[in-house]
Amino acid sequence: MRSLIENHIDDFLEILTYEKRFWKDFWEKLPYKPITEHYANHFVNFYDKLCAISRNELTEFSHIYDKSKESLKEELSIRIRKSAHDLELSKEDFVIYLIAGIGEKDWVVVEGKHEKVIVFDVFSLWRKGKFSSLSDAVFQAVIHFRHGDLEGDYYDKSEIFKRLKDEISQMDNENILQKVCELLDKHIPYYNWTGFYLMDEEGMLVLGPYVGEPTEHVRIPVGKGICGQAAETKLTFIVQDVSRETNYLSCSPHVKSEIVVPIFRNDGSVFGEIDIDSHFVAPFDERDKEFLEWIAHQLAVRIVHWKEFDRRIKIAYLDSYISYILNEIVKYNIQFSVSLYVHSVPENVPENLYRFWRIARKLHNAKIERVVVVDSVEDQKAIISTPRGTYTLTYDVLKLSSQDIMHKLILHSSPETSTILFAIHHDAVKLAQNFVNTRLITQYVLKPESNINTILYAFLTGITAGYSGSFNRAMFFYYTDKEFIFQKALGPRTMEEAQGIWEAIEDIELNMSDFLETISKDFKSSLELVYDGKTVKEEKVQQYLDGKAHVISKVELPELAEELDINSDFALMALKSGDKFIGLVVADNNFDGKSISEYQINVLEDIGRQMALVLENRRFIETIKEKAEIDILTGLRTRRMFEEFTTNVLLEKFAVVFLDLNKFKIVNDMYGHEKGDEILKKFGKCINLNIRKSDLAFRYGGDEAVLIISSVERDVIEKVVLRILECFKNSTEMTFSAGVAIYPTEGDIQKVLKLADERNYKSKVSGKVEF
């Protein structure tokens, strides 16, 4: 049998026995003319390049070659002759020469004595680190020779396919079929037409995106041609020589071979096909089949079932803990990418993998590096890559809860990443405690017995308590007439007092429930004694009144810092409802000297907004209540409230005092109603200032008032009335008459009221309190 492959490497390596100055002579005396002459003429400055070869390098190659030369020729021959029919070896129109050349080109075709010679430079292949791929490289050279190429370099299909897999897995879904076609056409030399056929509702294969010559086969019935057969049998079809295929639809006279790979739905039906035409004979092998079937598998997720995957990504639930962690990661500007390895069946993909998918799509500092479809459910994973390191969440980890995954990330990430993640987790826990505290405050203020005093102290405690905001001091100023007026404060006055508070901390519960249950409505902070009457002009802090918490240095607001004895940076936040000011909160770390942390600012803003909401709601309710219960002019309870009292008398015994201003009509007639209103205001103020806590006062009508005094002792009643009279007389130089009746001694409430009215008229004459 004629020798197809001739191994002359040993002969060419004899050059190593010569001095370099004789290498040119050695080459010219080789007994393989005209092959060696034609080979040398193929290169520019061939002999210069020959003599430039490193002797050491060529020697190293010879050692590698010696280890495998016994089997080399036989392996090559078997590989070539396996495809003898497709490569048309029967023509006997070429022979392969294995040599050690100048290492510049893997193979060239030259004229021999009787046939073409494919001169293969094994030294060149070795230089590229591909010596172990010699049989594949030589086979590839023969395929290209049959295609008409006269020279070439080996390309490793396995490496190309690996790189292209990576590129495809990084593609987004938009126009992915077209992009795959363009990618394969660009990087695989023997893929000369690349396209997709997609199955329509009628069961026809319809031409989809493609790259290559136009084709007339835009609709192909199942069973017809190579594409139709692949759809019918649901198998990958490889045809190395289409001229020998009877059921073949010719697309172009240039096409010599074809491979068709079905794309399946999860139910096993055919969605479409990948179709590759080549102008080469027998270019395809198992690597092409595996690569194209891999693409088809990826498209099952990226195209075929994408709607269901996309739906599950969009509804992937991100709870409050995850959301907080993500928001903080954005603040830290931690750049990261996520590589996702998913199963083709949406139901088999863990919820946490969908969560990472959603996260990487949404965050500006994150990206999806790649999406790879895997065959086994257990092979699913998410790889998180950051500049600080990479962490892989396996399938078992992805099935864990969010907190368990966070725990593993903290434990197994790089030290720098772990520190950041733990800091975020720690802040999340602190904010959760703050939420517990604000919830307790909210629950308290909704109780009927809550009062504004304890409400304010509760909020100030939330700002200052170690288990919440941890500020040393906090002060509240209420807003009125373009200024903020000091109202409440909490915190130590001196360092000694601060030390005492810190020593007592171990006795405090871990939330505010104890405080809210025990605080007295009459409690007054010692700090309030110092700052009572202090005011902050709106114009002085105008630039900070945006409803956010600001950290301010003493230099920025020196007058305020001095007024409030602030010796370091402090925080200031205006409480607003819409554009309306409610108050101002000032907080500092006056005694421990710590810098105000971002966490403290977050707590202050959370509590401050809650405080604004509660105070505005409280004020609104109190305003409505006052309008219904309190007379605007006098400040006394309304006539309606008196009628409610008379219909539901709760006191066992009391005195009813009827008061009526003397000569009030003259004041109105002489000075007008504005002056009359001023008199009535002073009348109501004197009454409210001089009745006891257990007494009630009502505006009965016009200039008349009714007192309910919780005593039936004449001396007690008279003292209350005379105190009111003295106050009124001093402020207005006017007097009033007063009639008294006792309930229930003198009858029911209506009779007692009538008696008091009658005695009031008698008082106008006598000028004294009439009983």
- Could you tell me if 355 and 318 are in contact, meaning their C-beta atoms sit under 8 angstroms apart? yes
Tell me the C-alpha distance between 771 and 763, whole Å.
9
Q: Give the H/E segment covering residue 111.
A: strand 107-111
Q: In what order do the strands lie in the sheet with 549-552?
A: 535-537, 483-490, 473-480, 580-588, 570-577, 549-552
- CA dihedral (299, 300, 302, 303) in degrees, to 10, reads 90
| Widest pairwise Cα distance in the chain | 156
How many Cβ atoms are within 10 Å of 246's Cβ, its own excluded? 4
Give the pair of three-digit tokens for residue 139.
């086979």
Cβ contacts of 161 within 8 Å, gap of 6 or more: 287, 290, 291
- Could you tell me if 736 and 662 are in contact, meaning their C-beta atoms sit under 8 angstroms apart? yes
Query: To 5 degrees, how large is the angle CA 69–CA 73–CA 78?
Result: 140
Q: What is the pLDDT of residue 509?
A: 47
For residue 620, CA distances in Å to 349, 371, 606, 626, 720 come to 52, 56, 21, 10, 33
Say which DSSP state 582 is in: E
Tell me the C-alpha distance between 352 and 313, whole Å.
10
12-17 own/partner pairs: CB under 8 Å, 24+ apart: 12/99, 12/100, 12/101, 13/58, 13/62, 13/65, 13/100, 15/58, 15/100, 16/55, 16/58, 16/59, 16/62
What does the buried/exposed string (b/e) look like for 199-222 if buried means 16 or more CB atoms within 10 Å of the residue's CB? Answer: beeeebbebbbbbbeebebeebeb
User: Which residues are 552's β-sheet partners?
Assistant: 570
Give the pair of three-digit tokens for residue 672.
């007008």
Would you list the DSSP string of 164-212? HHHHHHT--STTHHHHHHHHHHHH-TT--EEEEEEE-TTSEEEEEEEES
State the 10-residue block means of pLDDT for the chain, 771 residues long: 84 95 95 94 96 96 91 82 87 94 97 93 96 95 95 97 97 95 97 96 95 94 93 95 82 89 95 96 96 96 95 87 78 86 96 92 89 96 88 93 87 83 81 74 72 80 79 92 90 76 49 62 72 91 94 93 92 92 93 87 89 78 62 88 86 93 88 89 94 92 93 93 94 94 94 94 92 92
Instruction: Decide: helix, strand or coil at residue 628.
Output: helix
Tell me the C-alpha distance between 689 and 682, whole Å.
10
Q: What is the pLDDT of residue 566?
A: 92
Matching residue, tokens 């294969």: 205
Rg (CA), the chain: 48
Tell me the C-alpha distance between 316 and 310, whole Å.
10
Say which DSSP state 302 is in: I
Q: Where are the alpha helices (DSSP H) in 278-338?
A: 286-299, 306-314, 320-332
Tell me the C-alpha distance between 271 and 197, whole Å.
9
- Could you tell me if 203 and 222 are in contact, meaning their C-beta atoms sit under 8 angstroms apart? yes
Matching residue, tokens 């992805």: 398
Q: What is the pLDDT of residue 520?
A: 55
- Could you tell me if 709 and 657 are in contact, meaning their C-beta atoms sit under 8 angstroms apart? yes
Tell me the C-alpha distance between 654 and 741, whole Å.
9
Instruction: Decide: helix, strand or coil at residue 135.
Output: helix
